[in-house]
Amino acid sequence: MNQLPEHPRVLALANQKGGVGKTTTAINLGTALAAIGEEVLIVDLDPQGNASTGLGIDRASRKISTYDLLIGEATLAETIVETVVPRLSVSPSTLDNLGVELEIAREQDRAFRLRNAIADHVSACERDIQGKTAKRFSYVLVDCPPSLNLLTINAMSAAHSILVPLQCEFFALEGLSQLLQTVEQVKRTLNPTLSIHGIVLTMFDARNNLSNQVVADVRTHMGEAVYETIIPRNVRVSEAPSYGKPALLYDLKCTGSQAYLKLASEIIQRERRLKTAA
């Protein structure tokens, strides 16, 4: 197992619940971080490949995917595709990732495939002083599937911290304790420095009393772990992927885009605080 390099910062977007905003957050937070000058890579681990599609990467441009990386047949650099957003790249995913778990189940390093690939990439960048062949990233966002399977475990063992999108709905907190238990288990066994970066409340609807109640409940239970920024439910955010664009490119002024910009700056502030505390 390789040591986890300090840079780039690797954040995994995880929640085994489906449809809570993991992919939307990966795409739009990634775009917002890139817009404020960070060099960002989104690693799509979900066989559904929604992050890849939402960033306009068609199937034909996914010849080398995270599947090839996880089975050890490609380097991270070989998977990377540029997006229409300056400073934002993606390692795309395909349905092949459905088979990864079975294929690598017997390999000793099966939980560390992504971590090793990122560490190898960082070493390649260090060797390549002019930075011509290997792109240096400051942030890597890993979009996980809605499951606590080996793909998600690979993300958790490669990450410095976990970002948990939580939808403002009645069952928001259901399943969270299982997720937090898995994080603790990964911390004990695979990645001792893993932390929870924060919980981001998504699809908030101010007209709905339930949404307000969920925010209050989650803040009571999870305290400081919850980001101040709340992502509103916004139709522009849900339309953007069908144009192969992040919401920030599709409609920068909409409330959803503005919230993701705010979340990006809150995340950078949290990173600074963590650094000074260390």
Ligand X SMILES: Nc1ncnc2c1ncn2[C@@H]1O[C@H](COP(=O)(O)OP(=O)(O)OP(=O)(O)O)[C@@H](O)[C@H]1O
Q: Give min distance, CB of 224 to Mg ion, in A.
A: 26
Residue 202 beta carbon to ligand X: minimum distance, rounded to whole angstroms: 5
The stretch among 47-55, 61-69, 165-173, 223-231 that binds Mg ion (CB under 5 A) is 47-55
Does position 50 interact with Mg ion (CB under 5 A)? The reply is yes
Closest CB 210 distance from ligand X, rounded Å:
16
How many residues sit in the footprint of Mg ion (CB under 5 A)?
Answer: 3
Query: In this complex, which beta carbon is closest to ligand X, that of residue 101 or of residue 120?
Result: 101
Does residue 158 sit in helix, strand or coil? helix
| Residue 116 interacts with, from ligand X, Mg ion, none (CB under 5-8 Å by kind) | none
Minimum gap (Å) between residue 234 Cβ and ligand X: 4
CB of 46 to ligand X, least distance (A): 5
| Residue given tokens 């403002």 in the structure block | 168
Shortest Å, Cβ 104 to ligand X: 21
Closest CB 262 distance from ligand X, rounded Å:
13
Count other Cβ atoms within 10 Å, centred on residue 104.
18
Give 17 or 121: the residue with its C-beta nearer to Mg ion: 17
Q: 116 or 152: whose CB is closer to ligand X? A: 152
CB of 31 closer than 8 Å to CB of 88: yes
Pairing label, strands 81-82, 88-91 = antiparallel
Residue type for position 36:
I
Binders of Mg ion among residues 138 to 197 (CB under 5 A) are none
Output the CA–CA distances (angstroms, integers) from residue 23 to 26, 31, 42, in the order listed. 5, 12, 10
Which of residues 32 and 134 has its CB atom nearest to ligand X in the complex?
Answer: 32
Q: With the C-alpha atoms ordered 224, 19, 16, 49, is the resulting torsion angle positive or negative?
A: negative
Buried b (16+ CB within 10 A) or exposed e, 190-203: bbeebebbbbbbbb
Residues that bind ligand X (CB under 6 A): 18-24, 46, 48, 50, 146, 202-203, 231, 233-234, 237-238, 256
Residue 23 in contact with Mg ion, rule: CB under 5 A: yes
Cross-strand partners of 141: 11, 42
Nearest C-alpha neighbor of 23 from the set 58, 59, 40, 48: 48
Task: Name which position in 9, 17, 22, 87 contacts Mg ion (CB under 5 A).
Answer: 22
Structure tokens at 45: 């681990």
116 binds Mg ion (CB under 5 A): no
Residue 258, binding choice from ligand X, Mg ion, none, Cβ under 5 to 8 Å by partner class? none
Q: Which lies closer to ligand X via its Cβ, residue 16 or residue 116?
A: 16
The amino acid sitting at 51 is A
Q: Residue 203, by phi and psi: left (phi above 0), alpha (psi -120 to 50) or beta?
A: left
Q: Is the dihedral of CA 188, 193, 199, 200 positive or negative?
A: negative
Binding site for Mg ion (CB under 5 A): 22-23, 50
